[in-house]
Structure 1
Amino acid sequence: MSEVRTKATLAKSAAAAMNRLTTEQKNHALGVMADALQKEQAAIIDANSADIMNGREKGTSESLLDRLTLNESRIAGIAEGLRQIIALPDPVGLLLESFERPNGLKVEKISVPLGVIGMIYEARPNVTVDAAGLCLKTGNTVVLRGGSAALETNRKIVEVLRSALQTTDVPADALQMIEDADRSSVDEMLKLNGLLDVVIPRGGASLIRNVVDNATVPVIETGAGICHTFIDESADYDMASDIAFNAKVQRPSVCNAMETLLVHESFAKKHLHELADRFLKSDVQLHGCPRTMEIVPEALLASDADYATEYNDYILNIRVVHDLDEALSHIAQFGTMHSECIVTANQENAVRFLQEVDAAAVYHNASTRFTDGFEFGFGAEIGISTQKLHARGPMGLPALTSTKYRIYGAGQIRG
C-alpha cells in the first residue's frame, strides 16, 4: 500500500475517536502542541535552515524564502496561534435548529466535523501548524501534503506535534503528513474517495487549478490573490498612499497583497508621480499602462499577462482609469474574487464598489492585507476561500464543520 493510502487510512481510523472527544480534551492537546513547538524550536530551526539553504541553491526568490523562514519569534507566533484557537468557541456539537413535525417527530440539526481533511499546500510551514490546530479543534483528522521547499521543516514540525499528541487523549494518527515530494502523491490524494472527505488546496494558481481540475474528492477552493486597490478621484492623498503602499510592500509574498493599483485619471494627474516615487524608493518594479508611463517614465509597459499575474514579489501593475466603471470592468476581468479595495470619499461610489465587486472581501478605505483569519478574529485560518459554496473568505473553525440531523420518534412510520 502506498504512503498516501496508508496514512489516509490511519487518519480515517482515528476519526471515530475524534468524535468522542470533549472540547476540554481537544483544547488540552492544542496547549501541549503549542508548548512542544517552543520547547523544540532549536530542532525546528535547524530543519528549516536546511530548507532555506536548499532554496537558495535552487535560486528561490527572497520573497518566497521569507515565507519559508522560521525563527524563534515566528515559532512563538505560530504557537500563540494554537493558543488562540484554544480560546475560541468549539463549533462542534452545537444545536443549530430544532422543530417538531405534525406527526410528532422531533428533529434537531447539529454541527459535526467534516471528517478526514486532505490539505495540499506550498512553502509556508506555519500552515502545517494552523491546519493541524484548526482540524483537531473541530474534531477532524487531517492528512497534510506540503510543498517540497519546506519538506524538512514540515517533517520536523509534524514529528514534534505527533509526539506531543501521544501524551493527550487526541490520537496521534489524527495528524498525518505525506513525505513523498513527487507530484504523484498529490494526484493520488485527489482521488481518495472513501478515505478523504474533502481536499483543501492552498497555494499558487497552478496548484489550485490542478486540484480543482483533477480531484474526484470534494474540494474547497482557496484561490490565488490578484488583488486590486482603486484610488478614486475624491480620495485623500495621504490615506490613499498609505493604504496602497501597505497593501503592496508590507508583505508582498502573501495572497492578500495588492498586485494592481487602479488610479482615477484626475487623481493620477495630481498625485501619481509622487505615489509612484514612493514605490520606486522601496525597490518596487512598476508596470503601467500607456497613460501611467506618461506620468511615470520608469514604468515598464504592462500587458494583459501582467494584469493576470500574482507576483508575490516587489512588482506592481498600475493602470489609470477614466472612472469607477472602468475600474470595476478591470477587476471583473482580472480579479480572482479574493480581496478588492476602493479608496474614496464618495459614499455613492463606495456603496457601488462594495455591492458590485464579486470577491470574498471588499474594502472601503482599508488595506487588503486585513483579509486574514487572525485579523477577522477567527484565530488561525485553513485558507481563504474564493468559491461560493460551503465557505467563503477566511476559513476559521465553523468552516470546517458540516451538519447532521437527529430525529427522535415514538414508533412513527411513513404511510
Structure 2
Amino acid sequence: MKIVLAYSGGLDTSIILKWLIENYNAEVICFTADIGQGEEVEEARLKALRTGASKAYALDLREEFVADFVFPMFRSGALYEGYYLLGTSIARPLIAKHLVRIAQEEGAEAIAHGATGKGNDQVRFELTAYALEPSIKVIAPWREWSFVGRSEMIAYAAQHGIPIPVTIEKPYSMDANLLHISYEGGVLEDPWNEPPAGMFRLTLDPEKAPDQYEYVEVDFVEGDPVAVNGERLSPAALLTRLNEIGGRNAVGRVDLVENRFVGMKSRGVYETPGGTLLYHARRAVESLTLDREVLHQRDQLAIKYAELVYNGFWFAPEREALQAYFDHVAKTVTGTARLKLYKGNVIVAGRKSPISLYDKSLVSFDEKGGYNQADADGFIKLNSLRLRVRAKAQPKD
C-alpha cells in the first residue's frame, strides 16, 4: 500500500509516519507545504527520510497561499466569531489540494493526516480531499490508534528514537504559516490560565514594544493590497513585511474560546500581526469606497463565509458563489490606508481613494454642498410614521 502523508515534523506526524509503516505495512511518501514556516520545512523533509519515508516532498507554496487563499478570504472581510482571522483554517485546503495531487501523481491509494478526532482540521483536510478526488482513501490515525494523549506519544517517540519538538513540560501545540501562529493544548486547555510569557514568536510583548508610534501605509488596488509604505511587493513578501511591522509593535495577539465545527468549545491563542494590519487597513479604505447598503450586506454575508472557511468548505459551491460576490464588491476597494501602531494598538490615522464616495462639501458644517436641510423634515416624519401610529394605539401607563 502507498500512502501520502501530510507531514509537518511535529509530534503528531512524526509518530504517524512510523505508525503507518508499522500498522499498514505501507510505503509512506511525506509532503510538507512551505507556507511560511521558514527553516522548519527542509528540516521536516530530511527528518521524514530519516524516519522511514520512501520520498519526501517540500514545496514552496507561499505565493499561492497568500495570493489564492489569504487574499480572496480577506476580500470578504471574514472574521470567525468576531475575533479569529482564520489563519489555520485557510491553510488546510491548500495543503489538502497538493496532498491529493501528489497522491494522484504517485499512484497512491490513500492520504493521511495528523489531525485529531476532536478537532476541525480533520474535517477541513477530508472535505477538500473528497471534493477534489471522490474515490480517495483517507487514513486518520488519531481515530484509529490506542494512544490516549500526547504523553503516551512522547513515550512512543522516545522508544523509537524519533526526535520531537514537544516535551512534557511544554506540551502545547503550535501551527505556523505566513498568516499566523496558533497555540493550543497543554496549559492552554484551562481558559483561566494566562498564556506563558515566553510562548509568543511573532509579536513582542506590549511592555517591550517601542515607546513611540510607528506609521504604516498600505495601498489597495481592486480589493488586494499591493504596496507597503509605497513599495510594491508580491503577496507573500507584502504579508511578510507587515508581519515584521506589526510584530515589533505587539499587534495581532488574540486569545479566545471558539466553537469547533464538531460541537465542542476550544481555547486557541493566535498571533496574526500582518493580517491584523491588513484587516484594519482594508476596512479604512472600504469606508470611503463602498456604498452603505453594499458594505452592510457584505458584512452580513461575511459571517456565513467565515463559517464556511472555518468548517472546511473551501471547495464547496456555496463558498465559491459567495466568493464571486465578494470579488465583485472588492473591485471598488482601491486606495491607501495610514495606520498608527502603538504597543498592540492599531489606530486608523488616515485614508484616501481616487474613487472615494466621501464628499466633503456635502457633509461639511460650513458648506451647503447641494443639500437642502429642510428635506430632512419629511424624511424623518415618513420614517417615524409607524412609530407614531404604534404610540397612539398603545394604552398609556
Which TM class, normalised by the smaller chain length? under 0.3
Q: Is the radius of gyration larger for structure 1 or structure 2? A: 2
